[in-house]
Structure 1
Amino acid sequence: MNRHKQRMGKFLLRLQLFPPSKVKAWTFAHEEWLDTLRFESSCHRMVFQEYRESIRETAERLRRYEKEIELLSHTHVQAPLIEALQALRGVATLTATTLVSEMVSVTRFASAPSFMSYCGLVPSEHSSGVSRSQGKLTKAGNAHLRRVLIEAAHHYRHSPGVRRKLRERISGLPPEVQRMAFEAQNRLHRKYMTMLGKGKHKSKIVAAIARELAGFVWAIACVLEKKDDQNLVLDSSIGG
């Protein structure tokens, strides 16, 4: 989708066509402005229409994908974990499904730091003798996990709170999961504001928040895994 929009933007830029001031790109007002454009060249008209059609087709395809993912999130074998992860702020169905599908099983990771490392969210390290220095993120892990965690991390700039959509998502979830999700809100928002107050660059702040958010994802997955094990033991004892 972004690639098609960028092509359209560059095309309009070459023709020195700019939207009215205060009109943000790809909003309803921007779409209305695109409807008013007229081109003398038939070649320009054709390219413009093709670009717009490709954007519409991609948007429709994405809507179909999201609808199918929404349906599968309720019937998949990992549905309980998908629902539980949505207790975290900034994690709705699509993000939770991505996290679960890329994680596969929390048993693959012995600890939260190992999961953070798998996401490529730990800083690189250069050591020599007793000296130790850390650099940029390794970005050596799973790019899909890293992307959705960083996108979710932006939400923690807001003050903690459980509003309507989040309240609907946490309804019926285990109390421990709800407690951990609200703890994540408080901890990560506090960390965000502390780093911002120290003058840290926002990209560094978001990366740090995403790293700790990965830890909460791992912890919630462990809670669900432990609950499944307990249910399995209970079922076995009843069957015996």
Structure 2
Amino acid sequence: MWVPDEAHEAVRDLVRARERAHDALKKARQQLQSFLLRHGRIYPGRTPWTRTHFRWLAAQSFTHPAHHIVLAEYIQAIEDAAVREDRLTKQVAEVTVSWAMAPVVEAYQAMRGIAFIAAVTFVVEIGDIRRFETAPQLMAYLGLVPSESSTGERVKRGGITKAGNRRARRVLIEGAWTYRYPARVSQAIQARLDGLPRSVREIAWKAQIRLCARYRRLITTGKLKTVAVAAIAREMAAFLWAIGQEVSPTAQA
């Protein structure tokens, strides 16, 4: 049984606080969108929450003064939530630099679909991945293996069990959607690869080649996108486990 030390718990609390701030921002945006839809206001632009979008919001006019107050309050709530999320994101980045698990966080970012916040969230929730002797153990812990029900000699497989840590599982599910596109090393990924061990870079590229191809193959055979993504997330866990065998926490862990 792995027990996190005081430093790990502290970083985990900070990361979860940032997650709650992110959720609050999403909720504030949803509330504004619901208000606008009730009044038949639909943003004509392509990308929401940009400066152009906020200028469009500020230009909205209503007959009753109360509606202007509501709009202003919703916009202010979004701006406040965005500032808080940004502040906490920066604090997570600052704290992680001197954290014992920093090398692991950096290494995980070699994977497509695992940028900084996803990597640090996975690490604070899972801990030292070397505590899992095999990749299948990690997959089962994350609830990414198919459920099974048996009737006599017949065994029927269902959806994933969704057991274990939901935050770590969500990170992989969200990251798995990026494998819908062909394998390539984007500028963002290339920047994250700089300074990482060659073995880590090779594992990450092998993951891209395999998982992008597997997603296409699953979709071609008629699998639902959500089913394909769950399968990709399961294999992502295996590749993260492999990367975790190549790097170690710093001495103060």
Question: What is the TM-score when the length of structure 1 is the normalising length?
Answer: 0.88
Deviation of 1:42 (Å): 2.4
SS in 2 for 1:216: helix
Q: How does 1:41-190 map to 2 (within 5 A)?
A: 41-190=64-213
**Contact map agreement 1:78 1:100 (CA 8 A) in 2:** yes
- What letter corresponds to residue 200 of structure 1 in structure 2? K
**Contact map agreement 2:112 2:178 (CA 8 A) in 1:** yes
Query: Which sits farther off after the overlay, 135-144 or 185-194?
Result: 135-144
Deviation of 1:15 (Å): 1.9
CA distance in 2 between partners of 1:138 and 1:27 (Å): 39
Deviation of 1:156 (Å): 1.2
CA distance in 1 between partners of 2:108 and 2:95 (Å): 15
Asked if 1:196 corresponds to 2:192, the answer is no
CA distance in 2 between partners of 1:19 and 1:228 (Å): 49
Q: List runs of 5+ in structure 2 lacking aligned partners.
A: 1-24
Quote the sequence identity (%): 40
Query: Which sits farther off after the overlay, 24-33 or 100-109?
Result: 24-33
Q: List runs of 5+ in structure 1 lacking aligned partners.
A: 230-240
**Contact map agreement 1:90 1:155 (CA 8 A) in 2:** yes
CA distance in 2 between partners of 1:79 and 1:48 (Å): 42
Asked if 1:4 corresponds to 2:31, the answer is no
SS in 2 for 1:124: strand
Deviation of 1:37 (Å): 0.5
Could you list the per-position Cα deviations for residues 154-187 of structure 1 after superposition, in whole angstroms to 9, with x for gaps in the alignment?
1112222223221221122111111111100001
CA distance in 2 between partners of 1:175 and 1:112 (Å): 21
- The residue aligned with 2:244 is 221
Could you list the per-position Cα deviations for residues 40-73 of structure 1 after superposition, in whole angstroms to 9, with x for gaps in the alignment?
2222121111111111111111111111122223
Q: Return the index of the structure with the highest Cα Rg.
A: 1
Could you list the per-position Cα deviations for residues 91-118 of structure 1 after superposition, in whole angstroms to 9, with x for gaps in the alignment?
1111110111111122332221121122
Relative to structure 1, the CA distance from residue 92 to residue 23 in structure 2 (aligned partners, 3 Å threshold; closer, same or farther) is closer
**Contact map agreement 2:101 2:250 (CA 8 A) in 1:** no
CA distance in 2 between partners of 1:77 and 1:60 (Å): 28
- What letter corresponds to residue 30 of structure 1 in structure 2? H
Matching residue within 31, 34, 41 for 1:17: 41
CA distance in 2 between partners of 1:190 and 1:93 (Å): 25
SS in 1 for 2:159: strand
Relative to structure 1, the CA distance from residue 98 to residue 127 in structure 2 (aligned partners, 3 Å threshold; closer, same or farther) is same
